[in-house]
Every structure is written in structure tokens, then in C-alpha cells.
Structure 1
Amino acid sequence: MFLSNRERENRYRAVRQRMAEAGLDAIIARGSSAVRGDGAAFRFLTAFPNINIPLVCLFFRNEQEKPVLLVESRFQAMRAEKQSWAEDIRLSTNFFQSLTEVLKEKRLEQAAIGIDGLHNFPFLWGQKIEESFPGIRLTEFGPALKKLRAYRTPEEVRLVKKSAALVDRAFTEGIKHIKPGKTEWEVMARMDFILKSNGVEKSFNIISQGPKVDAYVPSARKIAKKGTVFTELTACYGGYWTQLARAVSLGKPDKRLVRLHQVAVRAIKEALPYLKPGYKVSKPMSVMEEYVKSSGLGCTPVYGHIVGIDMVEDRPSPQNQTEVVPGMVFIVHPWPILDNSSLLWGETYLITEKGNQRLNKVGDELIVL
């Protein structure tokens, strides 16, 4: 377990308060990997690093009722007993049937039930619940849960910092293996080995070669003798994601790469004074975009991530009107374009009471190998 019982109680108290405000009696959360919108609320409520099919958690406003975790296999049940907050863990061969049995057991036939993402909730489940329990009201509760998990507590900050440190280490040691003749598989395997052998549970790592960043999963393509190699390392440690996006040059860097690098680094520095409480997300992102464009370069409209349990809790952009508050974690990466060349470059920042803290310690220099 990465988080304490005290963290659990504080989290549960906050969730139940929101439930009371919304008039909800229970929550149904499904989830598996907590990557790109799938399972973050499930992980938030259970602290369980599920890796298989979406499991089901039922959480109740009545604090005397323990959350129920429905699992498919005995392996999941055994692991959940050790690595989750759930005390009521039940094996199920039919999640929907087990779900309806719990609703009856807890006397929720007339309840208001919040769903973590109605768009992800199985349509037939919703239809059958309404048919079987005419008194039940299903309502969207995903956005409320998303707001609750948007800000890192001190315990979570410790995990975020560890994640960033491991990403730094994987990059610093891994680029030593970027050598002509090696395959992308070999390069990224080394970086991922460093992450996984130090406790990272999930990673999302991509690579590209050449003047234009078109990164994807590694392939059998061999590293060229000269040119640009871009890597984006994203790691989840203890349930929390961080990222580092960097490029290295094999041999003397191309003039366009040098220019792209200068603009990307400077664009982030221009934005950072506004990436703090008192501003909306739109302000630093607008500043960053304007700097890139005022430098005579194009600007790809991908500015980073707001991260947490989910790798993309939200997207920072010049249109995002979310207030920047302490505890938020941002991956900031401008993506300038010059002719047929481009560069994605960035790192992870934690919002503090008065500003922001850069979590990745890898420098801003363009590394030449």
C-alpha cells in the first residue's frame, strides 16, 4: 500500500460530503488501468492497481457501510486484500447480477446513485437497473469525482516526486543506449527496464527519429548515424503519473532543431510566472502559445496534460478556464513547428501555494551524443 489509512479516511470524508450535497446514496465506479479516462475514480476510491478487465466498486454515503469491491478472479481478490482499501471483496462471475444483489442487500431500491461517467457505463446495465428498480435514479457523478482527485495531498506529492525522479533516471541512463545500429526497441526497453525495476507499475513511452516529431511505440527501426531522436517517458508510480519529453542529437544538431529547442525552452519559462494560484489555466498556456507564434514559428495545439491518477485528467489550453490551485500537477510541453521540423519538449510541474515547483531535474540543454 502506498497510501495510509488516514489518507483513505480524509478522501472518503470528502467524497461523502460531495455525495450529500448532490443527494446521492451510493456511487458505482468501474475501472481497470487508469489510463486516459479509464478507472481513475475506481483507483481513487479503492487504491487498487487493477490491471485487468474493469472491476466494480460500490461506495456508500452511509459511513457504516463498507465499500464493496467486485472482482473476477481469486488472484484479484488475494491482491486486493493486500493492496486495496476494500474490506468487502466479493468474487463474481457476473458483475451485473452481483451489482443488483448488492443494491437489494443494501436496500437501495429507491436510491439516488452516482455513476462515474455515464458515457462509460454499460448501456444495458443502466437500462436493466431502471427496469428492475423503477425507484432508482442514476445520475452523472464523474465530474465531481474528477474535481476531488485534481489536487495532490502531501502523501500523494511524495509519490509524484518519486515518479518524476524515476523518469529522470530512466532518461539520463537510457540515452547512453541511443547508438547507431541499435533498434528503437532496444533503446526504449532499457529505459522501461529502469522504470519497472524501480517500482513503476505502468509506463507510456514513445519515440521518434528525424526532424519532425511523430512519436509512437518503438519499432525495429534502427537508430541512424546522425539526426534527432525524440523520447517521451511517462511513468505511473504508486498511482501517479509524471512525464519528461526530450530530444537528443546524434552529431551536430541541425539549425532548425537548435531554433526549435530555444523557442520551446523559452516558451515554458515565459509561461511559468502565470502557472500559479490566482490565474486560470488559460493564462500560462496563452502566454506560451503567443511566445511561440511571436518567434515566427507554428504552434501545434497540444500544450501538455493535467495529471494525477489518470494520465490525462484534463488538457491545459488557452481555452481552459479552470482555476490553478495548489496541489495540481501539470505536464507542460509546447510543440513548435519550423518548416518541416517540429519539437515536443517539456516536463512536470507541481503547483504550490505561491507558484510552481519543477519536479524533473533533467536540464534544459539540448544533449548532443
Structure 2
Amino acid sequence: MPANLERLTARMDELGLDAVVATTYENVYYLTGVPSVALEVFPHSGQFYAVLTRDRPEQVRLVTSRCDADQVQDVLPPVASAVGYGTFYREKGEDAVLSDDEEALWRIAVDGSAPATALDGLVHTLQAAGLERARIAVDEEGVPHGYLDVLREAVPGADVRLGAEVLRWTRKVKTPEEIRRLEAVATLTEQGIRAVTAAARPGVTQQELVREFETTVVAAGARPKFTLIRFGRGGVAGQAVSREPLRRGDSLWLDVGCVLDGYWSDIARLYSLGEPSDRLVRYHAAMVAGEDRALAEARPGMTGKELFDLAVEAVREAGVPHYRRHHVGHGIGVEIYDPVLITPDNDDRLEEGTVVNFETPYYEFGLGAVQIEDPFVVTAGGNRLLTTLERRLTVIG
């Protein structure tokens, strides 16, 4: 499992926590390796929990609907317990001999305890684990409004606290397996970008190039999440759909991302179909200068604000003196925006093993979008890019 359990348990010790409850799609995946169907298909109402206790951090306790109990078979760490709530029917043939996996599913989804709701299932799990008087951090971002108050009433001896920040803080430092996954999804995303540039020609449409990117990454096992492609001055409205074809002399802007094995990519590049204008070349070089400064000077202990300031100043010095931004990057992992955020007021600090997805976008009416964006790993001995695509403004066609 990719989760940084050593960091999580150290944080639990610091805060005096006995248990952590993950409730969101991303955090459940982080602790279990399970891409919960319920949490993805029903993002506003689905409930699937992973409970990690300080005394047995290498195991998880699961709370799932009986419908989704079959996903317990895909959990990567050992499962200490699992309870299925609600109603769902699976029948057993008269002469059926169940396999080990089927027996396990039968116990959870048919023959085991049957709490009526997810809340009842969590209370059952906490009580069975002896946590009635424990200090418990619950990820508040994946439960309905007022849920924690009702949980406190149901387990009055427990000290129930907000837990989203505990898990977000843990995810700031990536394990070697997480970095491997981030590098793999970045490599695949670059393959999609290469497919787009190979298909770029006068007359091609935005929709055709979007399809080129998405079919490429899907064929390799990833799931596209956003595919922003615009031509020329249309880049200033990069999230809108355009019917205009690509013309010689246009810039081709891509800001694209997908998910592979639970981990996100977010990469941006700029190309030109034929020779670009001197201004586009100059502005793009300034954006690259900002990313180069960040890549060269980011260090463990630096705040998001400090990294923001030095990168923005580099862009201004390189030829865009009026450059301004609300952020120039973010951490990346099981969420597209993991800590640290690179903003003008963020005092959160980079650490050894933080992966920064750094970007210097610029949008101007009449010019379009000018952007470079790449992930890199922060280390005391020098930072490492996870991408290999050429970062200069490249002429295609």
C-alpha cells in the first residue's frame, strides 16, 4: 500500500489520537488501495470508511454498504474487520461450495452484523475495537453536515475530532511507491501530449485533439480527468469549448491530467503550428524561467510563499514585468491539489519527499494562454523532474 504509515502514526502520537477514520474517495484509497465505487458514483451520498487504529496501524477496519462489500477483496493491507450496513441481496445456490473469497463476502454481506446505516456501522466498528472512550479523528469532508455531532451522541465517551487535516498533512510527504506512481502517470500523460502534437495540422479541431489525447491514455490504462486544449488567442478561455480549427501560425496550448493507479497528473505545454511571434517566444521563455528558478531553488523547509515569491520574480525579471498570479503550483498525489500550495500567503513548508506540481500560467486577451507545468520531487540534494518532454516553445507541423 502506498500510504505513509510511519508519518501518519507519528502525527497520531503527536496529537494523542487512538484512531483515524477516512471517509473520502481519495483518503480511503490512500489507506486501502480500494477505488470505492460508492464514493465515486455517489460522491454526495455514498459512504465507505476505513478506520486505522494506532495500536494496529498496519491493518484497517472497513465500514461498507452490503452492496459494495465485494470491494473488501481488493484491499491491499490486511483487514482487521469489515462490517456491511444496509440491505442488499446475494443468494446462495443449494449445492454451492463457496471459495475462500466468497466465504469472506458471505460473512460481511449476508451472514454478519447488519447495521442499518453507515453511521451505525461506524459505531459498531468503534465499539468492537474498544474505542468507546478513545480520541478519534474523523475525516469530515466525506460525511454529511452534522454527522460528527450525531457520532458524538452515539459514542458519548469518545473524543471525536476533525480529521481531514491529519490525513492531508500525512500526504504531503510521498513514499517511494507514491513517487513511482506519480512518475508513471506523468510519463503516460506525456505520451498523450505527443499523440496530440503528432495529430496537429491545419484544420484539425479542438474536439479531435481532445479525443486523440484521451484515447491514448485510456488505451494505456489511465482515466482522463481534464483535457484542456485551445488554439491561439482562444487560450484565454481555456476551459470553454471552441469550434474554431487550428490554423498555421496559431499556438497550441494543452493543460491535461489523468489518473493512473489512484495518482494524478497535471501537465501543461505550449506549441506553435509554424513559426511563433517574437512576443510569444519571449513570454514563454519567461514562464520557463520561473519554473527553472523553482526547480533550482526549492528546498525542504521553504514555505509555499517563499517559493511563490522567487518564481514570480524570476518571470518578471525574464521579460514579463507585470506578471501576477494567485498561485504557481500545488502538491499532487491521490488528489490533484495536495499540500503544499504555492501561494503568496501560504506558510506551509516543503519537506523532503514533497512533490510539487509547479506552473507559471499567463493568460492575455489577444494572445491566449502561455504556460508550462511539471511535477518535481523536493529533496535536500537537489530536485528531480518527473517529466521528460521538452519544455521550450516547440514548433510543430
What TM-score comes out, normalization by structure 1 length?
Answer: 0.85
Structure 1 residues 302 and 215: CA distance shift in structure 2, 3 A: farther
Structure 1 residues 180 and 72: CA distance shift in structure 2, 3 A: farther
Shift of 1:191: 1.0
Q: Give the corresponding residue for 1:301.
A: 326
Q: Give the corresponding residue for 1:242.
A: 265
**Counterpart code for 1:25:** D
| Map 1:21-100 → 2, pairs under 5 A | 21-32=14-25, 39=26, 41-50=27-36, 51-53=40-42, 54=46, 55-63=48-56, 66-72=59-65, 74=67, 76-85=68-77, 87=79, 88-93=81-86, 94-100=117-123
**What do residues 196-233 of structure 1 show as CA deviations (whole Å, max 9, x unaligned)?**
2222245332222332433227x462433242221112
- Helix, strand or coil: the match of 1:204? strand
Shift of 1:64: 8.5
**Counterpart code for 1:44:** Y
**Counterpart code for 2:374:** E
Could you list the runs of 5+ residues in structure 2 that have no partner in the other structure?
87-116
Shift of 1:288: 1.4
Q: Share of identical aligned residues, percent?
A: 22
Q: Give the corresponding residue for 1:35.
A: none
Distance in 2 (CA, whole Å) between partners of 1:207 and 1:327 is 31
Could you list the runs of 5+ residues in structure 1 that have no partner in the other structure?
33-38
**Counterpart code for 1:351:** V
Q: Give the corresponding residue for 1:318.
A: 344
**What do residues 274-313 of structure 1 show as CA deviations (whole Å, max 9, x unaligned)?**
1123533333321211122343243232302211221101
- Helix, strand or coil: the match of 1:205? strand
Runs of 4+ in 1 over 4 A off after TM superposition: 337-340
Q: Does 1:19 align with 2:9?
A: no
Q: Does 1:106 align with 2:129?
A: yes
Task: Indicate conservation of the 8 Å contact 1:298/1:338, yes or no.
Answer: no
| Map 1:193-212 → 2, pairs under 5 A | 193-201=215-223, 203-211=225-233, 212=235
- Helix, strand or coil: the match of 1:298? coil
**Counterpart code for 1:300:** R
**Counterpart code for 1:260:** Y
| Map 1:79-158 → 2, pairs under 5 A | 79-85=71-77, 87=79, 88-93=81-86, 94-116=117-139, 118=140, 120-158=142-180
Structure 1 residues 70 and 184: CA distance shift in structure 2, 3 A: farther
**What do residues 109-156 of structure 1 show as CA deviations (whole Å, max 9, x unaligned)?**
32221022x355422322222223322221123222222221122222
Q: Give the aligned CA root-mean-square deviation in angstroms.
A: 2.6
**Counterpart code for 2:162:** E
What TM-score comes out, normalization by structure 2 length?
Answer: 0.80
